[in-house]
Amino acid sequence: MNVFSKFESELAVRPDDIDLYQHVHSTRYLDYVLAARFEQMEKNYGMSMQAFAERGLGWFMTSATIHFKRPLGWGDRMVVRTWIVHISENGCRAAFEIEKQPLGKRVCDGHCDYVLVTLATGRATLLPDDVRMKYSI
């Protein structure tokens, strides 16, 4: 079984994240995960989303699973942790967890499946060896 590194990013709830029930709308949690992944791709893997685009590549999300535990609200801060749980020939599964700060209470967890595509065609492509190596830390 492969064991991959876990990374974290700190984020805050924005005013426009709040829905009419006065908590973060469910769709925003994926925004938080994607924001954390973009930051971590550059900072921890050494390959930003822009670097992929410059190579004519991009990551498309093919599925997402979220298990909600408790809501986030106006002014809350959070830590978003993500890590790779599986690498395939043309993609990966990244798990995540979001914890409300400062108490570290779990807000949600889940995973997202991504496939690497050639931007010109939108079709899946094999992971280049250097990408596989960077993501295997």
Does position 3 have pLDDT exceeding 90, yes or no?
no
- Quick check: bond before 71 cis, omega within 30? no
1 falls within a domain? no
CATH number of the domain that residue 48 is part of? 3.10.129.10
Residue 63 burial class via C-beta count within 10 angstroms: exposed 0-12, middle 13-18, buried 19 and up: exposed
pLDDT in tens, 48-71: 999 999 999 999 999 999 999 999
Q: What are 73's two structure tokens?
A: 């609200």
61 falls within a domain? yes
What phi and psi, each to the nearest 5 degrees, are found at residue 86?
Answer: -160, 140
pLDDT in tens, 108-131: 999 999 999 999 999 999 999 999
Owning domain of residue 57: 6-135
Asked whether 87 and 136 are in contact (CB, 8 A), the reply is yes
**Count: domains in the chain:** 1
* Region 93-105 average pLDDT: 97
**Does pTM top 0.85 for this prediction?**
yes
